[in-house]
């Protein structure tokens, strides 16, 4: 692990947790993680719980993020939520281009690019998800797919902004399946991502970009993943839904920081 890049562990709650459940989970996380330093902790609850949790997380070491945003600033876009609305409820981060949105809702690289642009314009930190499906990996297309997601999804980002973007490498075959990529498989793609960012943007800036791994991260596998040079944290789905699961992941990632 490279200590110049502050590790970041993000919990993606997806479409889970009503407000009362969300408050219970956050209270538990605050209790377990209050003294964690040196690692950035982010939770991304559903929209309905953001406002309540924004208040509850004020003055805590846990930051708030959203799972998506819309690229326009306001107007007749039924069902959508803008970047400024997210900031209004206390969000600092936003996940963009998650594979579930790409595959179930038809989100394209072009949409991802516009969302990333809007997030940066509004000073939200985008967590941009990239990653191949199982058949693409089996056909040897992993690097091609990741390159396509990155080159097109980041097409509206300026050279001087790239260090602010967080990339989440999430092989689709590892999401929610219990089958995580090995540390070696993750590092191979993370190193490729960093090199690509260096070639497209700027090498010094690329060295500062945090690249999270996502896909069946659990307390049992986080430490091994975090030992890799280019793994700078994790995007956690299922295991972020329990106090024990998420706090153990943060603590075990943290052990490797010191």
**To the nearest whole angstrom, how small is the minimum distance from the Cβ of residue 200 to ligand PEP?**
24
Active site residue 164: no
CB-nearest residue to ligand PEP:
237
Binding mask 189-228 for ligand PEP (x = CB under 6 A): -------------------------xxxx-----------
Per CB under 6 A, the segment of 19-27, 106-114, 201-209, 233-241 that binds ligand PEP is: 233-241
Smallest separation (angstroms) from ligand PEP to the CB of 136 = 17
Alpha-carbon span 160 to 181, nearest angstrom: 31
Between 84 and 248, name the residue whose CB sits nearer to ligand PEP: 248
Residue 97 interacting with ligand PEP (CB under 6 A): no
What is the C-alpha to C-alpha distance for residues 256 and 254, in angstroms, rounded to an integer?
5
Residue 214: count of CB within 10 angstroms of its CB: 27
Distance CA 62, CA 42 (A): 6
254 in active site: no
Burial annotation 32-60 (CB, 10 A radius, 16+ → b, else e) = bbeebeebbbbbbbbeebbebbbebbeee
Where are the extended beta strands (E) located within 2-84? 8-12, 40-44, 62-66
Which residues of this protein are in contact with ligand PEP, per CB under 6 A? 12, 170, 175-176, 214-217, 235-239
Catalytic residues: 98, 170
């Amino acid at each position: 692990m490279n200590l110049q890049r502050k590790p970041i562990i993000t919990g993606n709650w997806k479409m889970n947790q009503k407000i009362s459940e969300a408050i219970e989970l956050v209270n538990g996380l605050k209790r377990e993680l209050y003294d964690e330093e040196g690692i950035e902790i982010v939770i991304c609850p559903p929209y309905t719980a953001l406002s309540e949790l924004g208040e509850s997380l004020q003055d805590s070491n846990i930051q708030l993020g959203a799972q998506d945003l819309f690229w326009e600033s306001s107007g007749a876009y039924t069902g959508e939520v803008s970047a400024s609305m997210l900031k209004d409820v206390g969000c600092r981060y936003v996940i963009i281009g998650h594979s579930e949105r790409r595959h179930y809702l038809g989100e394209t690289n072009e949409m991802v690019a516009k969302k990333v642009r809007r997030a940066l314009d509004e000073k939200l930190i985008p967590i941009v998800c990239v990653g191949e499906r199982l058949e693409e990996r089996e056909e040897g297309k992993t690097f091609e797919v990741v390159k396509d997601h990155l080159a097109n999804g980041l097409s509206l980002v300026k050279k001087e902004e790239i260090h602010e973007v967080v990339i989440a490498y999430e092989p689709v075959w590892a999401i929610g399946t219990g089958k995580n990529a090995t540390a070696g498989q993750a590092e191979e793609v993370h190193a490729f991502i960093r090199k690509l960012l260096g070639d497209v943007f700027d090498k010094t800036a690329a060295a500062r970009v945090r690249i999270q791994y996502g896909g069946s991260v659990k307390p049992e596998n986080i430490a091994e993943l975090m030992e890799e040079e280019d793994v700078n944290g994790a995007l956690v789905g299922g295991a972020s839904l329990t106090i024990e699961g998420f706090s153990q992941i943060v603590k075990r990632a943290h052990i490797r920081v010191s």
